[in-house]
Amino acid sequence: MHGGAVNRHHLELSAEEQALVEKIDLRLDIPYQEDGHAIYLSNQEPIMALLRLLTDRSAIPAHRLAYWTDPKYQSGRMKGSHRDIFARNGSRGRDAYTHPHFIPFLRYFLFGADLPAAVIKEFEDKIGDPRWFSGSDILGLTKETRAIVRRYNLKDYRYSNEFHKLAIDNGLNHYNAESVRKAAVEAARR
């Protein structure tokens, strides 16, 4: 969904970093007729090089890294951070970062939430200035999140995680961001 103009949630990349991004196959769904293993192999070096560059200049926002490393940002039955879950499944360090299931995290690091621009705008308009967002505002935001999910027919479960990421990118704490995620799940079920 990232076509078109760059939005404010996209990382500003150097020319070298952009060249590496262009070498990485960032698709979430690889058609069955394509060789997924070959894509995985060709992604390894550019992913590691890109992450080194981004890490060296501390380019990835702390809240996006926390989404990967902090257990409170992982919802579901499994305990631990997303990174911990990868480790429990045998992927640590380089193996985790080059694993095909890391691509959604890399996309988030680079671009923010994977939602249509109109959805992002409506959601952010409802938040207003995040400095003034309080616990009492979460009810209105979750109601609006459910309405947006229905209005744009975002019924796929993965969109709930994208709303969670968008809430985090807009300065909401993890409790409020989790409430947003749950509201998107509820709306998708109806």
User: Which two three-digit tokens encode residue 55?
Assistant: 């890490």
Is 174 in contact with 132 (CB distance < 8 Å)?
no
> Which H or E element spans position 52?
helix 36-56
User: Which two three-digit tokens encode residue 40?
Assistant: 């995985």
Same domain, yes or no, for 141 and 176?
Answer: yes
Domain boundary (111, 145, 175) is at: 111
pTM of the model: 0.90
How far is 113 from 116, CA to CA, in rounded Å?
9
Distances (CA, A) of 139 to 63, 73, 120, 181: 23, 20, 18, 13
Q: Is residue 7 part of a domain?
A: no
The pLDDT value given to residue 3: 43
Distances (CA, A) of 189 to 21, 135, 181: 35, 25, 13
Backbone φ and ψ for 14, nearest 5 degrees, come out as -70, 170
Same domain, yes or no, for 46 and 69?
Answer: yes
How far is 156 from 135, CA to CA, in rounded Å?
27
The residues, ordered by sequence, that sit 6+ positions from 131 with a Cβ below 8 Å of its Cβ are: 171
Q: Is residue 33 part of a domain?
A: yes
Same domain, yes or no, for 52 and 100?
Answer: yes
Q: Is residue 26 part of a domain?
A: yes
Same domain, yes or no, for 105 and 35?
Answer: yes
Q: Is residue 74 part of a domain?
A: yes
Domain boundary (111, 126, 157) is at: 111
For 11-39, how does the pLDDT look when each residue is reduced to its tens digit (9 = 90+)?
999 999 999 999 999 998 899 999 999 99
What is the phi-psi region of residue 47: left when phi exceeds 0, alpha when psi lies from -120 to 50, beta otherwise? alpha
Task: Please compute, for residue 111, the number of CA atoms within 13 A of its CA located in the half-sphere on the CB side.
Answer: 21
Domain that holds residue 176: 117-189
User: Which two three-digit tokens encode residue 70?
Assistant: 């902090």
Same domain, yes or no, for 23 and 106?
Answer: yes
Same domain, yes or no, for 21 and 105?
Answer: yes
Same domain, yes or no, for 170 and 84?
Answer: no
Residue 183 has pLDDT above 50, yes or no: yes
Domain boundary (62, 85, 111) is at: 111
How far is 33 from 113, CA to CA, in rounded Å?
28
For 42-92, how does the pLDDT look when each residue is reduced to its tens digit (9 = 90+)?
999 999 999 999 999 999 999 999 999 999 988 777 789 999 999 999 999
For 103-158, how does the pLDDT look when each residue is reduced to its tens digit (9 = 90+)?
999 999 999 999 999 999 999 999 988 889 888 899 999 999 999 999 999 988 88
Q: Is residue 8 part of a domain?
A: no
The residues, ordered by sequence, that sit 6+ positions from 133 with a Cβ below 8 Å of its Cβ are: 127, 141, 171, 172, 176
